Amino acid sequence: MKKHYSKGSNILTAIFVVVGLLWVFPIIAVVINSFKTNAAVNLNAFALPTKETFTGFNNFVKGMTFGNYPFWKSVGYSLFITVASTALILVGTSMSAWYISRVNSTFSKLFYYLCLFSMVVPFQMVMFTLSSTADSLKLNTPWTIPIVYLGFGAGLAIFMFVGFVKSIPLEIEEAAVIDGCNPIRTFFSVVLPMLKPTMISVGVLEIMWVWNDYLLPYLVLDRTKYMTIPIHIQYLKGSYGSVDLGATMALILLSIIPVIVFYLTCQKHIIKGVAAGAVKG
């Protein structure tokens, strides 16, 4: 029986190693092609750089200096939108989840189910209506688009926060009220510190989503004035629509490195937060 279990474990390990390599392969391909000439990428995208095809950091310089729109401006807009949207989602949804968990009313239940329903509605169903609505409400700038992200990111965040808030003993909040805390102070001084595991988990997931998002900024933002990194990469085109794939791969690599480092750093918090919200709830 032991041998059978050991053999089965080895087979599963081999399968997962193969799946893991297949999963990582696109990233490896991006790294390889970011150091090759455009002609070499077009000729054989899977070949390693040679002495003739290796370009060093020329693709990175070319990608960052291409066109009239500065790449670092796109980095700044992406960074601001990601940080502002994530902060707004964390604060707004955590307070909403606390209200839903503590107020047993028809409105709170209906609001919770509507948030869950929003998770199953495809973005493509509402994107054209959203674009016109954002234009009419003047939400088509980097300073206002976090409000749009709040609407789309609320479903998952509220679901995870509600599961964790229900595990917090109500007596702790009652003790704070007896000591003279109003609801706002009770939340920020008592409840919010206990939400840290789920807060970190939701924050990491939202940051990865907003940073990599292409379609929502493309539809909402005025692209003549504001470009995020994914939109900037799409506009790396020369005359007659030609694309420098080497420079494109270089910028893609620059855009995914911060997300990969951030995810690997916070990976344990994601698992801990998801387990806290799902098991304790």
Residue 162: Cβ-neighbour burial (10 angstroms; 0-12, 13-18, 19+) = buried
Is 239 inside a domain boundary?
Answer: no
Is 24 inside a domain boundary?
Answer: no
User: For the chain, what is the domain count?
Assistant: 1
Q: 229-247 pLDDT, tens per residue?
A: 998 888 876 545 677 788 8
* pLDDT confidence bin for 92, thresholds 50/70/90: very high
pLDDT at 76: 93
Is 260 inside a domain boundary?
Answer: no
Give the DSSP letter string of 202-235.
HHHHHHHHHHH--HHHHHHS-TTT---HHHHHHT
HSE on the CB side for 36, CA within 13 Å? 21
For residues 20-27, give the mean pLDDT: 86
Which two three-digit tokens encode residue 166? Answer: 């229900």
pLDDT at 11 over 60: yes
Is 192 inside a domain boundary?
Answer: yes
pLDDT at 280 over 50: no
* pLDDT confidence bin for 272, thresholds 50/70/90: low
Amino acid occupying residue 62: K
Tell me the residue range of the domain where 93 lies.
73-232+267-279
Q: 124-169 pLDDT, tens per residue?
A: 888 888 888 888 888 889 999 999 999 888 888 998 898 888 888 8
Is 207 inside a domain boundary?
Answer: yes
Is 59 inside a domain boundary?
Answer: no
CATH value at residue 209: 1.10.3720.10
d(CA 180, CA 262): 40
Is 43 inside a domain boundary?
Answer: no
Following CA atoms 159, 162, 164, 165 in sequence, which dihedral angle do they give, to the nearest 10 degrees? 160
> Percent of the chain scored above 70 by pLDDT?
90
Phi, psi (deg, nearest 5) at residue 134: -65, -40
d(CA 256, CA 243): 20
pLDDT at 47 over 70: yes
pLDDT at 2: 47
Is 255 inside a domain boundary?
Answer: no
